[in-house]
Structure 1
Amino acid sequence: MPFAISPVVLEGIGVRLEPLCTNHAAELYAIGQEQDDWQYMPRGAFESLEDTHQWIEAAQQLAATGEHISFTIIDTHSNRVAGSSRYLSIRPAHKGLEIGYTWLGREFQRSHVNTAAKLCLLSQAFDTLKALRVELKCDSRNERSQAAITRLGATREGVFRKHMIVRNDFVRDSVYFSIIDSEWPHIKRRLRQQLDAQ
């Protein structure tokens, strides 16, 4: 089967991931204005509804070229937009990709949403696309994200030193994690058990 990624709706335990579109702009703007939530992201919080539209349109342009596939995360318990995540660094020849650019509104942090959304994205990658490897990375200063990625069951592979120049010209080190296909069945069972227990 070809490693062909396209925008799809992903249904999970307490979440639904829909292809990112401008219909989500108002709700994303409403939950995406806290600067602290964007501290380690490539950009800052949304400054206006127009700014949110521009962010969505930029993501859609990356989707059109196959570079990124972006999703809006919806909490199905409340039927509210909870945040966003995406596939990036898509490498069809090597059956690999990265999950990243994940952010959640304040109300949805430390809830079932991140684990459930990652389970959806990982299931699509490994079970449908037959990926061999899924990467996750974060700013080395972001200890909370490192802990969250570790809780998923990903293996910490190392640090890319002076990897990226981010906001305010800060030269960031990136911590890389991965999950590979042989690990996925065990990780999938454990994540489902975690979500069922919540």
Structure 2
Amino acid sequence: MKAPTLENNRVKLSLIDLSNFKQLQTIAQEKDLIHYSPSDISTPDKLRDYVQVAVDGYYHKSIIPFIIYDKEKQAYAGSTRFGLINWKNKVLHIGWTWIGHKFQGTGLNKNIKFLMLQYAFETLEFEKVEFRIDERNQKSRRAVEKLGAKLEGILRKDTVMKDGFRRSTCCYGILKEEWPTIKEVLSKNIDF
């Protein structure tokens, strides 16, 4: 599997690996950056382990992990990935997304998600894209709802967090047949 580079005028997504993840060490240590995630990237070693899991998943064809470069700010901004890729059923998840605080609310994330959705539906020709979000994470829930994703259900207390709390996970989805309409709406706010 060859990793794609996804890019427009605003952002470039390229494969994250053990040769480039250090570009994110400062951002990864920002306070409350991934508060709603069961992952831990708070130290250089934990960030390396996080990336190693993604790299291993890439070689097993279940993950395509990206490092995010913000072309407007000319800086690395964070990470995202396709995960839980089910090649047989043509379903994958977009998630594990974190961007530094100074990049949030700038339109960067919308550009990232647009490129990823476009690749999933138009290049991979997948049938469905899913997003899994902590029920408490209202900011991320609003963001995927603005993309046009539909809430499909809530998995109650299904994930143990770093502090031992059992979170409930909201499951959102976009179907292939919904993509043309969503693409048209999103295209009005994307930097091609």
Alpha-carbon distance in 2 for matches of 1:167, 1:96:
28
Match of 2:177 among 164, 170, 182: 182
**Cα deviation 1:84-127 (Å, max 9, x = unaligned):** 11111111111110101000011101111100000111000000
**Cα deviation 1:156-179 (Å, max 9, x = unaligned):** 111111211121121111001100
Contact 1:82-1:108 at 8 Å conserved across structures: yes
Structure 1 position 57, deviation (Å): 2.0
Structure 1 position 190, deviation (Å): 1.1
Alpha-carbon distance in 1 for matches of 2:46, 2:93:
25
How many percent identity over aligned positions?
Answer: 32
Amino acid at match of 1:32: A
- Kindly tell me the number of residue pairs found equivalent between the two proteins: 192
Q: Name the SS for the 1:122 alignment partner.
A: helix
Matched, 1:53 2:48: yes
Match of 1:63 among 15, 38, 58: 58
Match of 1:73 among 68, 71, 77: 68
Matched, 1:43 2:24: no
Q: Name the SS for the 1:57 alignment partner.
A: helix
Partner of 1:103: 98
Q: Name the SS for the 2:56 alignment partner.
A: helix
- Unmatched 5+ residue regions in structure 2? none
Match of 1:129 among 124, 128, 145: 124
The runs of at least 4 consecutive aligned structure 1 residues that moved more than 3 Å come to none
Which protein is richer in helix relative to its size? 1
Alignment RMSD: 1.6
Match of 2:154 among 152, 159, 183: 159
Structure 1 position 195, deviation (Å): 2.4
Matched, 1:24 2:25: no
Alpha-carbon distance in 2 for matches of 1:6, 1:165:
33
Match of 2:29 among 30, 33, 41: 33
Alpha-carbon distance in 2 for matches of 1:45, 1:89:
20
Partner of 1:91: 86
- Alignment map for 1:9-20 (pairs within 5 Å): 9-20=5-16
Q: Name the SS for the 1:38 alignment partner.
A: coil
Q: Name the SS for the 1:87 alignment partner.
A: strand
- Distance change in 2, residues 1:67/1:41 (3 Å): same
Match of 2:134 among 133, 139, 153: 139
Structure 1 position 52, deviation (Å): 2.7
Alpha-carbon distance in 1 for matches of 2:76, 2:144:
22
